[in-house]
């Protein structure tokens, strides 16, 4: 009997091959033929799954997002039954930075996707919606942290969300070696420490400062 082909697995194999092409050779080498060769199949076989470069890129980006979400979910589970919101935000933001092999592949995939989306209306809508969803998730975490008293109530959740997402702008600095991973993490932690300083924390720090002066 002929071997049954798992088409979803084949699509994922193609997506991973695409990631490798982008990571090892750059987005300029991203073609159906190049990815087919990397995946160990013919050009025609690949087109059976993805008739166009845009379709292949869209699936690969969706798959990358799923893998990132899975890593975040696994990380959150390791934080325990009631993880601190600061820890969840740190985990989410660090997974958006190219700090390990999987995250680097996803980061470079995202860069290629954005470049392509600038010239393709369909991809632009998909990219915009995906980023808007990620931004909304961060804002929900910030709002919940304010409601639970982990962040001062006078903090604007929209502005704080934008400032947190701005930290993912470390990506090109990390990729080009301008910043070391430890430096990016130090800056990230410093910002989170400031954000999660509550009114009670400030009062305690002031009281401690006054006691030290006496």
Continuous segment of H or E residues that includes residue 81: none
Determine the pLDDT at residue 202: 55
Question: Which residue's entry shows tokens 């400030």?
Answer: 202
The DSSP annotation for 24-70 comes to HH-GGG--HHHHHHHHTS-HHHHHHH-SSHHHHHHHHHHHHHHHHHH
Phi, psi dihedral angles at 156 (to 5 degrees): -85, 115
User: Percentage of residues in the chain with pLDDT exceeding 90?
Assistant: 49
Distances in Å between the alpha carbon of 78 and those of 37, 72, 169, 186, 203? 39, 10, 27, 22, 32
35-46 average pLDDT score? 91
Return the sign of the alpha-carbon dihedral for residues 38, 44, 47, 49: negative
62-84 average pLDDT score? 89
Structure tokens at 116: 């392509």
Determine the pLDDT at residue 214: 62
Q: How far apart are CA 15 and CA 67, in angstroms?
A: 12
Q: How far apart are CA 39 and CA 37, in angstroms?
A: 5
Determine the pLDDT at residue 61: 84
pLDDT at 210 over 60: no
32-38 average pLDDT score? 91
User: What's the pLDDT tens digit per position in 140-161?
Assistant: 999 999 999 999 999 999 999 9
Confidence of residue 123 (pLDDT cuts 50, 70, 90): confident
What SS3 state is found at 184?
Answer: helix
pTM over 0.75: yes
User: Domain 53-201 carries which CATH code?
Assistant: 1.10.357.10
pLDDT at 1 over 50: no
pLDDT at 29 over 90: no
Q: How far apart are CA 170 and CA 189, in angstroms?
A: 13
């Amino acid at each position: 009997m002929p071997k049954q082909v798992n088409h979803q697995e084949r699509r994922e194999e193609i997506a991973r091959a695409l990631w490798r092409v982008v990571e090892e050779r750059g987005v300029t080498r991203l073609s159906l033929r190049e990815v087919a060769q990397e995946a160990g199949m013919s050009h025609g076989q690949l087109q059976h799954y993805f008739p166009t470069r845009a379709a292949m890129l869209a699936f690969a980006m969706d798959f990358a997002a799923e893998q990132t979400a899975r890593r975040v979910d696994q990380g959150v589970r390791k934080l325990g039954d009631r993880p601190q919101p600061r820890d969840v935000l740190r985990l989410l933001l660090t997974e958006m930075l190219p700090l390990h092999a999987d995250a680097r592949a996803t980061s470079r995939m995202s860069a290629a996707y954005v470049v392509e989306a600038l010239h393709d209306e369909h991809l632009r809508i998909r990219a915009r919606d995906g980023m808007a969803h990620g931004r909304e998730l961060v804002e929900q975490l910030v709002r919940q942290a304010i409601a639970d008293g982990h962040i001062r109530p006078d903090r604007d959740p929209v502005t704080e969300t934008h400032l947190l997402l701005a930290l993912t702008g470390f990506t090109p600095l990390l990729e080009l070696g301008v910043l070391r991973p430890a430096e990016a993490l130090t800056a990230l932690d410093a910002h989170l420490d400031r954000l999660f300083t509550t009114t009670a924390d400030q009062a305690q720090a002031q009281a401690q400062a006054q006691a030290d002066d006496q």
